[in-house]
Amino acid sequence: MEITSFIVMDILERAKELEAKGVDVVHMEVGEPDFPSPDEVIEAGVKALCDKKTAYTQSVGIPELREAISGYYLDQYKLEIGPERIILTPGSSPALLAAIRICTEGDRVCGLPDPGYPCYKNMARFLGGRFVSLPVEAEGGFKVFPYQLDGIGALVINSPANPTGTVYGREELGLLVEEAAKRGVAIISDEIYHGITYDKPASSVLEFTDEAIVVNGFSKFFLMTGWRLGWMVVPRKMVRLVQSIVQNLFICPPAAAQYAALACFEGAVLAQFREKVKIYRKRRDFIVEALSEMGLNVGVMPQGAFYVYANVSKYTQDSYSFAKRALEEAHIGITPGVDFGDNKTRLYVRFSYANTLERLGEGMRRLREWLRVLV
Ligand SMILES: Cc1ncc(COP(=O)(O)O)c(C=O)c1O
């Protein structure tokens, strides 16, 4: 089976080896928030365990959490999404797996943005589904355009995007959804970075259609990566099918995680998540400026998520060895563009700014010195 390794995990593992030998590594490869879950979330999880809520839950998740997410759609997006369409999963990854399987049924070809989140293509491979890369270019803001929908049966949209931080404007997204509907292209919208945006909130495809599968979760904005909890919003006609899939494949999401996640929707807790976005924004501005000064061109200002996708062609045509050498020689962890596809990815690396300003400052200092030696 042709599954490529998730290179960022390889880099992380090597970084951990170096650290075990006493080397101080600045982590800018990691794709998860550097903040722990809020105390309220942890306390709710602990309470669930003390109350012995250790059994399986409903396969689609506990009703009160589905209600809470439904309420969140109303508050945040002014959308009425019935809780019966919301299905909880053990992380958003299983939701993506189910969504990709459903949408590639009948030999439909799934279009995946390139560069894009690497697991999409490996999930499609694992499932034996067909997929094609849809090149997204810096000049086009790293977005998929409607003309690229020709010949595909399904499309994965990811806004805010990993690795580029691209956020589709409301109209652009609406147009893409409209064109997809005209062509009968099924949409999977990975909205896992929603909430982490810097200019305006990201639009959901649910603002334009009830026919798409939306994937979201508690890992990024809600700071709960290790709890493993995600959700999908599915078209009404698909509810029963998806319920059967999650029953068979995942049994149910983790019980304690679900009770913990209920705390996320309290006003004071939501305010904490929003504070973190302000912190990410300062880091983004800092790192973009520092990289630009070094001639690492950030052609498109990231408007969401916590990544900068920088062009390193001034220094290399091979982002993979560049990232490996940066780790070994400068002790900084970064992710080579080749992790994200084939489209000019040898000329790019991804910097994650899910790290403190102090550490990012140290990372930029090391990078600057290392590049001086490199040229
Ligand atoms: C675009 C994207 N989708 C999905 C995921 C998976 O998140 P989860 O922890 O919810 O499985 C990630 C994680 O990095 C991601 O970047």
Residue 118 to residue 158: CA distance in whole angstroms: 12
Cα(307) to centroid of ligand 1, in Å?
13
Query: Quick check: CB of 166 below 6 Å from ligand 1?
Result: no
Tokens of 248: 């068979």
Asked if residue 285 is part of any domain, the answer here is yes
Site to substitute for ligand 1 among 96, 220, 228, 309, most atoms within 8 A of C-beta = 220
Is the CB–ligand 1 distance for residue 117 below 6 Å? yes
Q: What is the CATH number of the domain that holds 97?
A: 3.40.640.10
154 and 261: one domain? yes
Residue pair 25/19 in contact (Cβ under 8 Å)? The answer is yes
Residue 210 shares a structural domain with residue 87: yes
For residue 149, give the 3-state DSSP assignment. Answer: helix
3-class DSSP assignment, residue 269: helix
Q: Does 217 contact ligand 1 (Cβ within 6 A)? A: yes
Shared domain check, 236 and 120: yes
Span 82-113, pLDDT tens digits: 999 999 999 999 999 999 999 999 999 999 99
Domain CATH number, residue 11: 3.90.1150.10
Q: Which residues contact 278 (CB under 8 A, 6 or more apart)?
A: none
Q: How many Å lie between the centroid of ligand 1 and the Cα of residue 61?
A: 19
Residues 231 and 354 in one domain: no
Q: Give the per-residue SS3 of 200-247.
A: CCCCCHHHCCCCCEEEEECCCCCCCHHHCCEEEECCHHHHHHHHHHHH
Q: Of the given ranges (8-12, 255-259, 262-266, 278-282), which has the lowest mean pLDDT?
A: 8-12
Place of tokens 């698909």: 238
Residue with structure tokens 């494949």? 249
Q: With a cut of 90, say whether residue 150 has pLDDT above it.
A: yes
Residues 258, 307: one domain?
Answer: no
Question: Ligand 1, atom 14: nearest CA belongs to which residue?
Answer: 31
User: In this structure, what token pair is assigned to residue 45?
Assistant: 């999880």
Asked if residue 110 and residue 49 are part of one domain, the reply reads: yes
Answer yes or no: do 252 and 281 share one domain: no
CB contact burial 121-154 (16+ within 10 A = b; e otherwise):
bbbbeebebebebbebebeebbbbebebbeebbb
Residues 184 and 279 grouped into a single domain: no
CA of 159 to the centre of ligand 1 (A): 12
Is 226 found in the same domain as 88? yes
Q: Which of 265, 292, 321 is the last residue of a domain?
A: 265
Ligand 1 centre distance from Cα of residue 218 (Å): 10
User: Is 192's C-beta closer than 6 angstroms to any atom of ligand 1?
Assistant: yes
Say whether both 260 and 325 belong to one domain. no
CA distance 116 to 324: 20
Best mutation site among 166, 168, 191, 192 for ligand 1, i.e. most ligand atoms within 8 A of its Cβ? 192
Does 199 fall in a domain?
yes
| Mean pLDDT (whole number) for 24-37 | 95
In-domain check, residue 1: no
CA distances from 360 to 232, 283, 364 (A): 34, 8, 6
Domain count, the chain: 2
Q: Is 291 helix (H, G, I), strand (E, B) or coil?
A: helix
Q: Is the CB of 118 under 6 A from ligand 1?
A: no
Which atom of ligand 1 is nearest to 230's Cα?
10
Atom of ligand 1 nearest to the CA of 93: 11
CA dist., res. 12 & res. 16, Å (int): 6
pLDDT of 119-146, one tens digit each? 999 999 999 999 999 999 999 999 999 9
pLDDT in the model for residue 359? 98
- Domain ends where: 214, 249, 265? 265
Is 144 a domain residue?
Answer: yes
CA distance 293 to 285: 12
Position 153 in a domain: yes
* Spacing, Cα 344 to ligand 1 middle (Å): 23
CA 43, CA 260: separation in Å to the nearest integer?
A: 7
Q: Identify whether residues 291 and 231 lie together within a single domain.
A: no
Pocket test for ligand 1, best of 11, 29, 87, 119 (most atoms within 8 A of CB): 119
Which position has the token pair 């999409």?
A: 120
At which of 227, 244, 265 does a domain end? Answer: 265
Domain residues for the domain of 305 are: 7-30+269-374
The conformation of residue 195, written as its DSSP 8-state character, comes to T
Measured in angstroms, how far is the CA atom of residue 188 from the centroid of ligand 1? 14
One-letter amino acid for residue 269 of the chain: V
Is 2 contained in some domain? no
117/179 same-domain check: yes
pLDDT band of 191, cuts 50, 70, 90: very high
Identify whether 124 is part of a domain.
yes
Task: Tally the C-alpha atoms within 13 A of residue 261's C-alpha that lie toward its C-beta.
Answer: 34
Give the three-class secondary structure for 335.
Answer: strand
- Residue 205 included in any domain: yes
Q: What is the pTM of this model?
A: 0.96
What is the pLDDT, as a whole number, of residue 95?
Answer: 98
- Atom of ligand 1 lying closest to residue 190 CA: 3
